[in-house]
Structure 1
Amino acid sequence: MLTWLSVLAVLFQAHAAPSEETRATPERAVSAASDTVRVAELFTSQGCPLCPAANQLLAEFGEEDDVIALAWGVNYWDAYGWTDQFAMPEFVDRQKAYVEAGEAMRVYTPHFVLNGAPEQLRFDADRIRSALEASAPIPTARVETANDGALTLFLSGDRPTPAEIWVVQYAPGVQERQIESGRNAGLRMTHFNMVRAVEKLADWTGGEASFVLPDTAEGLDAVVLVQDGPGGRLLSAARLP
Structure 2
Amino acid sequence: MAEERTQPVVLELFTSQGCSSCPPADAMLAHMAGRDDVLPLAFHVDYWDYLGWADSFSDPAFTHRQKGYARKWGERMVYTPQAVIGGVDSTIGSRSLEVADFLMAHWSVPERIDIDTHRRGETVEITLSPHDAAAGPLPRDIAVHLARYDPIERVSIPQGENAGLEIDYANIVTDWEHLAEWDGTAPMTLSVRPGDHAALIVQQGGQGPILGAQRIGLAE
Q: With structure 2 as the length reference, what TM-score do the two structures score?
A: 0.84
Higher-helix-fraction structure: 1
- How far the C-alpha of 1:45 sits from its partner, in A, is 0.2
Residue equivalent to 2:66: 95
Q: How does 1:1-241 map to 2 (within 5 A)?
A: 35-102=6-73, 104-117=75-88, 119-122=89-92, 123-136=94-107, 137=109, 139=111, 141-157=114-130, 158-172=137-151, 174-217=152-195, 220-240=196-216, 241=218
The CA RMSD over aligned residues, in Å, is 2.1
Cα 1:161/1:171, change in 2 over 3 Å: same
User: 1:103 and 1:143 mapped to 2: Cα distance?
Assistant: 35
CA contact (8 A) 2:122 2:193 kept: no
In structure 1, stretches of 5+ residues that fail to align are 1-11, 13-33
In structure 2, stretches of 5+ residues that fail to align are 131-136
CA contact (8 A) 1:102 1:120 kept: no
User: 1:180 and 1:35 mapped to 2: Cα distance?
Assistant: 42
User: 2:138 and 2:96 mapped to 1: Cα distance?
Assistant: 36
Higher-strand-fraction structure: 2
Cα 1:234/1:154, change in 2 over 3 Å: same
Instruction: Report the residue type matching 1:161 in the other structure.
Output: R
Calculate percent identity across the aligned residue pairs.
33
- Equivalenced residues, count: 205
Residues 97-142 of structure 1, C-alpha deviations (whole Å, 9 max, x = no match)? 111112543211001011111x331242222222223323563741
Cα 1:138/1:226, change in 2 over 3 Å: farther
User: 2:153 and 2:32 mapped to 1: Cα distance?
Assistant: 16
CA contact (8 A) 2:149 2:172 kept: yes
User: 2:90 and 2:173 mapped to 1: Cα distance?
Assistant: 22
Cα 1:146/1:124, change in 2 over 3 Å: closer
Residue equivalent to 1:22: none
